[in-house]
Structure 1
């Protein structure tokens, strides 16, 4: 292997290490933040985005491969098209769960509501239990205690989009109609796909 080739591979490895470091810094900033719009978090996000882009570019140059990471606004054709100073924002969250243990799910619901009526068959019992648990606990607590509730976490995503100010109850009949990619300020995805990619670095 030539010295030039060895240097290039070393540069790829250095770029990968920079991504790992940026991830650690971003996690530290997020976990230590106490206020929305924390400039430390914003700076850590920007550093992580820059490191991911740099790694993606050199990976493509050397190995003709790319990563699954997408940085909002990186593509001029599909980037943010909303106002520079939005009057409001909308936060949309999707979390998927596999019902891994229906009996445990039902048991946890019965601890909350001893009068929980049996559903019509196994499916009815599960849907009744889900209604009780999600009515009792905040979504973040359910995510943190998913295994305890008989659930297995799947993919999740969080979108922060520019929005127009709305009156109370205005958008409740159709809460997700306003999910416009052109108004997307930032998004954060969690998936085993990304975990597998990081493990391979």
Structure 2
């Protein structure tokens, strides 16, 4: 790169300040998040990633140095995007995995819900729950929105596993009931606009990186 094309020292400093500001905004979003899929956290994450990438590029162009930062994500593993340039519709696909680690707590929460309902419907639900984890899960997910279960999973005897959110572009909104028989069958990786993954594997990779730096 020619000297004329190199960023100035002031531009590198400004990029560093942008990273600091993005870090503050990301922490604020995390502290105020309303659940595991809070869009404000995702927005702050993406802004931080963009600021860090811009700083890394300017630092390298000016001083031939790099940072140790790496933003984990799955975008690099996605195939090239082949969806519409101007989507008129989108699908949001979410998967969250849980382990039932405390069945007794799950059953107790389901029983509490059916007791509160009362009446004939509540009595039928209570009889159905009994000692059945399957029935308890039906009561739980029928009562609460998925985001609330995600934020309160420990109360329900659940342990979080991996989760992912895909935003897929489409030309038009499907007809009512068109995909209900197979809701995830048409998920096309080449139409994914963006995706966000949460996994313990990212924490393991971060721990490994820290151990390597300390060694």
More helix per residue: 1 or 2? 2
Deviations 1:19-73 (A, max 9, x none): 89856644646868xxxx99x9758615515736969xx9xxx9xxxx793452x
Normalising by structure 2, what TM-score?
0.63
**Corresponding residue number in structure 2 for 1:167:** 175
Aligned equivalent of 2:187, options 173, 176, 179? 179
For structure 2, list consecutive stretches of 5 or more residues without a partner in the other structure: 1-17, 34-38, 116-122, 211-215
Contact 1:19 1:52 in 2 (8 A): no
Partner of 2:154: 147
- Determine the structure 2 residue equivalent to 1:158: 165
Distance 1:197 1:156 in 2: 17
Deviation of 1:143 (Å): 0.5
Equivalent residue number for residue 110 of structure 1: 111
SS in 2 for 1:169: coil
Residue in structure 2 matched with residue 69 of structure 1 by the alignment: 72
Question: Which one of the candidate residues 179, 186, 203 is aligned to 1:195?
Answer: 203
Q: How far apart, CA to CA, are the structure 2 residues paired with 1:183 and 1:26?
A: 28
1:83 aligns to what? 84
| Distance across 1 between alignment mates of 2:194 and 2:181 | 25
Number of residue equivalences: 169
Return the alpha-carbon distance in structure 2 between the equivalents of residues 134 and 127 of structure 1: 11
2:74–2:197 contact (8 Å) kept in structure 1: no
Distance 2:179 2:25 in 1: 37
Unaligned runs of 5+ in 1: 1-17
Q: Which residue of 2 aligns with 1:135?
A: 142
For residues 173 and 20 of structure 1, do their structure 2 counterparts lie closer, same or farther at Cα, with a shift above 3 Å needed?
Answer: farther
Superposition TM-score, scaled by structure 1 size: 0.67
Q: After the TM superposition, which of the residue ranges 18-27 and 145-154 deviates more from structure 2?
A: 18-27
Residues 183 and 105 of structure 1, relative CA distance in 2, 3 Å threshold = same
Match of 1:93 in 2: 94
Distance 1:172 1:44, change over 3 A: same
